[in-house]
Amino acid sequence: MNYLAGYPEDLQAQVRQLREQGRLGELLLKKYHGQHGIRTDRALYDYVLDLKNEFLRNAQPLAKVAFDSRLHLTQQALGTHTTVSRVQGNRLKAKREIRIATLFREVPAEFLRMIAVHELAHLKERDHGKAFYQLCTHMEPAYHQLEFDVRLYLTHLETTGPLAWPAGPAAIRESGPVPAYRPDAS
Ligand SMILES: [Zn+2]
């Protein structure tokens, strides 16, 4: 259950039970419909850039956005944000890059949005502090629930394997049968 280690124990117990009953995948498939259809690095770049232009227009420009098959579950890193410094002429130029684990290529649109929002927020906030999560929920009001649901999916991936998310148009977002996570207000 290491993907859910930071969550309340009663919630973890619910998930454990669902997993033992073999119902986790079924519940996720009921809640989320449709893959996002973004397949290439080019399309991913455009997608992330649109989000950035909407919410973080003044943050540093993005030099590169790409899917990265080297990001694996075991590293606990689903995306990375790096600043690559290069010498240009006699100046040092910093370029921001975002990499997103390839597993996000075939997931519901909301899951991709969650990880894109997360990595974009790191352009402004390095640490996972209060300001970071405020920025995430500013970009995506359902951020906390989506991160929880992504972690549910990772739990499923690790124990059972990938889910066959149906292809197709986007998603409905409603409170489905998956346990709800609401961070306390403190
Ligand atoms: Zn992070």
Per-residue pLDDT, 72: 66
The predicted pLDDT at position 113 comes to 95
Domain contains 184: no
**Global pTM value:** 0.84
Q: How far, in Å, from the CA of 44 to the mean position of ligand 1? A: 18
* pLDDT at site 174: 47
- Is residue 144's pLDDT more than 70? yes
Using pLDDT thresholds of 50, 70 and 90, give the confidence band for residue 172.
Answer: very low
How many angstroms is it from 163 CA to the middle of ligand 1? 24
Report how far ligand 1's centroid is from the alpha carbon of 80 (Å): 7
CA of 170 to the centre of ligand 1 (A): 26
> Would residue 171 count as lying in a domain?
no
Residue 145 confidence (pLDDT) above 90:
yes
**In the chain, what percentage of residues exceed pLDDT 90?**
51
Å from CA of 62 to ligand 1 middle: 17
In a domain, 140, yes or no: yes
Q: For residue 35, tell me if it sits in a domain.
A: yes
| pLDDT recorded at residue 169 | 58
Residue 121 Cα to ligand 1 middle (Å): 8
Asked if the structure places residue 74 within a domain, the reply is: yes
Q: Kindly calculate the radius of gyration of the chain based on its CA atoms and give it in whole angstroms.
A: 17
* Percent of the chain topping pLDDT 70: 80
Expressed as residue numbers, the domain containing 95 is: 10-159
Exposure string over 38-60, b if 16+ CB within 10 A, otherwise e: beeeeebbebbeebbeebbeeee
Could you read off the pLDDT of 19-74 as tens digits, one per residue? 999 999 999 998 887 889 899 999 999 999 999 999 999 988 899 999 988 776 55
Q: What's the domain count of the chain?
A: 1
Q: Predicted confidence band at 76 (pLDDT cuts at 50, 70, 90)?
A: low
For residue 76, how far is its CA from the centre of ligand 1 (angstroms)? 10
- What is the spatial distance between Cα 109 and Cα 133, in angstroms, rounded to a whole number? 20
Q: What's the CA-to-centroid distance between 146 and ligand 1, angstroms?
A: 14
Q: Which residue has the higher pLDDT, 138 or 34?
A: 138
Residue 2 has a pLDDT of 78
CATH code at position 50: 3.30.2010.10
Distance from first CA to last CA of the chain, Å, rounded? 25
- Average pLDDT, integer, range 82-107: 79
Distance 88 CA to ligand 1 centre (A): 29
In a domain, 174, yes or no: no
On the question of pLDDT at 117 being above 80, the answer is yes
**CA–CA separation, 184 and 61 (whole Å):** 34
Q: How much helix, strand and coil, in percent to the nearest 5, is found in the chain?
A: 45, 15, 40
How much is the mean pLDDT over the chain? 84
Residue 2 within a domain: no
- Residues ≥6 apart with Cβ < 8 Å to 19: 155, 156, 159
Band of pLDDT at residue 126, cut at 50, 70 and 90: confident
Residue 89 C-alpha to ligand 1 middle, in angstroms? 32
In a domain, 26, yes or no: yes
